[in-house]
Every structure is written in structure tokens, then in C-alpha cells.
């Protein structure tokens, strides 16, 4: 995935200014920054929910600028929004199967389901449980797993730890660490800078709609500006 000089706005209000970044296959990359920096707007633009005013977006070598969300899913791009959008009155298994609606091969669905249960044993244990009765961390795990059911080439997570208890935040980042181990190409938007830098390979810092900084997680963790502004270390 690569963005080149992308500008985005809502009507006359410009929110994203000339951003460029790249995610390589198998990487976990984070977009960090304060609330209102333009992080979620960036994901929505990549996913075709918003259209850029200018610039290009490429995915697997294909220009996807302006491509519809439905077509992007078919191309292998999956977006897990902050709201998670699970079906609370449906079971874990039923929610997972909804994630495979674009897959026509029943054998492939079965194989992917077995893989999901191996990756997340807790979901296998609770496959008959209603999604609405799960903890916040478990629901986020289910939302990520449902996204993986279509066999995506890349998954994007918007604020996966938002509004969760510390225990559930830990569960969510354990889930993301598993994605990294499995070499699932992942883009995370997060305000939880400290924990995100522990699971991401690289990160971009957005401030006021622009990319202010970029580097490996180790580089950003030791950067004076990041340490002061986002990690609370003087």
C-alpha cells in the first residue's frame, strides 16, 4: 500500500495535507497522533469512504484512488472501524461467517475458520456465545477475526483499544501481536502510543493533518518529541 501526496477535506474544510506513506507486505505499521490529527480520515480515504481532493493511492501495484469500498474488499482490503459493528444478537460463529460473505468456496471458508480458531482459541471456546455478551476486548478480537475471514491481503484497524479497560486493551494488543507473528499486513490507527510502538514495526506520527514524523518503533520510542508529547517522558 502506498499513498502519494494525498489531500482530503470535508467540503471546503481541508483535513489531510499532502500525506505520503508506504506499508510493505507483512508489516505492522501504525499511524499515531492526537485526536483530530486526521488519522481516521486517512483510513476512510484509503477505504473509499471519502474521496481525496488530489493524490494517488496504490494497493498491490494497482491504482485504487476513488475505487468503491465494495470493490476494495474484493481486492483484499479490510477495514475494522472503531465502532466494530458486530451483530450483538448473533453468535460468535455467525459473526465470523458474515465476514466471509465475499468467499464462494465453502472449503476455503472452513479452512479459514479453522485457522481463526487456532489463532484465537477463545473464539473457538465461545463460538455459540452471543457477541453482545462478550467483553469489550473479546468483541474487538471478534471484529478483527471477522475481518480476517475474507482472507484479506491487508487489514486496517481504527482505534482498536478505544474505550476499553486496561485488561481488555492488553487482550487487543495481544491479538495484534499475533497478526504480526502471522505476517498479516496491518495498518493501525491509535492514540495509545506507548503500547502500539511495542507491537508495530514502523510508525508515522500525524499532527494537524500532516505526517510530522516517521521511523521504526525503536527510533520513535527514543525520539525526544515523541517521548515528551505522547509518552509523558521529559
pLDDT digits (tens, 9 = 90+) for 81-117: 988 889 999 999 999 999 998 898 999 999 999 999 9
Q: What is the pLDDT of residues 178-219, one digit of tens each?
A: 999 999 999 999 988 989 999 999 999 999 999 999 999 999
pLDDT at 1: 96
Confidence tier at 231 by pLDDT (50, 70, 90): confident
Ordered domains of the chain (ranges, CATH): 2-32+39-193 (3.40.50.300)
Mean pLDDT of 26-30: 96
CA 185: distance to chain centroid?
A: 10
CA distances from 157 to 35, 140, 181 (A): 16, 10, 17
Three-state DSSP class for 82? coil
Which residues are paired to 28 by β-bridges?
Answer: 186
Confidence tier at 55 by pLDDT (50, 70, 90): very high
Question: Treating both helix axes as pointing N-terminal to C-terminal, what angle do 166-181 and 136-148 enclose, rounded to 10 degrees?
Answer: 20
Q: What is the pLDDT of residues 139-181, one digit of tens each?
A: 999 999 999 999 999 999 999 998 889 998 999 999 999 999 9
Q: How far apart are the C-alpha atoms of 230 and 34, rounded to whole Å?
A: 8
Mean pLDDT of 128-141: 95
Three-state DSSP class for 1? coil
Contacts of 193 (CB under 8 A, 6+ apart): 32, 226, 230, 231
CA neighbours closer than 13 Å in the CB half-sphere of residue 74: 7
Mean pLDDT for all residues in the chain:
93
pLDDT at 116: 95
CA distances from 108 to 17, 45, 64 (A): 41, 30, 26
CA neighbours closer than 13 Å in the CB half-sphere of residue 131: 22
Confidence tier at 230 by pLDDT (50, 70, 90): confident
Contacts of 148 (CB under 8 A, 6+ apart): 78, 99, 112, 116, 119, 155, 184
Q: What is the pTM of this model?
A: 0.92
Contact 174, 12 (CB under 8 A): no
Other Cβ atoms within 10 Å of 89 Cβ, number: 9
pLDDT at 71: 93
Amino acid at each position: 500500500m502506498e499513498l502519494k501526496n494525498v489531500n482530503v477535506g470535508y467540503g471546503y474544510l481541508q483535513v489531510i495535507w499532502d500525506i505520503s506513506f508506504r506499508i510493505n507486505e507483512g508489516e505492522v505499521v501504525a499511524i499515531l497522533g492526537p485526536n483530530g490529527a486526521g488519522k481516521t480520515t486517512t483510513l476512510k480515504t484509503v477505504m473509499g469512504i471519502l474521496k481525496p481532493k488530489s493524490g494517488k493511492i496504490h494497493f498491490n501495484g494497482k491504482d485504487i484512488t476513488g475505487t468503491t469500498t465494495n470493490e476494495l474488499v474484493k481486492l483484499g482490503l479490510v477495514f475494522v472501524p472503531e465502532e466494530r459493528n458486530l451483530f450483538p444478537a448473533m453468535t460468535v460463529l455467525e459473526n465470523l461467517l458474515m465476514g466471509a460473505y465475499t468467499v464462494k468456496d465453502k472449503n476455503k471458508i472452513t479452512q479459514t475458520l479453522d485457522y481463526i480458531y487456532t489463532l484465537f482459541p477463545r473464539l473457538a471456546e465461545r463460538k455459540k456465545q452471543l457477541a453482545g455478551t462478550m467483553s469489550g476486548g473479546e468483541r474487538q478480537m471478534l471484529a478483527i477475526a471477522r475481518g480476517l475471514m475474507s482472507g484479506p491481503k491487508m487489514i486496517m484497524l481504527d482505534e482498536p483499544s478505544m474505550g476499553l479497560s486496561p485488561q481488555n486493551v492488553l487482550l487487543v494488543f495481544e491479538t495484534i501481536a499475533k497478526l504480526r507473528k502471522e505476517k498479516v499486513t496491518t495498518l493501525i490507527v491509535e492514540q495509545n502510543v506507548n503500547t502500539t510502538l511495542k507491537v508495530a514495526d514502523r510508525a508515522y506520527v500525524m499532527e494537524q493533518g500532516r505526517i510530522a514524523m516517521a521511523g521504526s518503533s525503536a527510533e520513535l520510542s527514543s525520539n525526544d518529541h515523541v517521548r515528551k508529547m505522547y509518552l509523558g517522558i521529559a
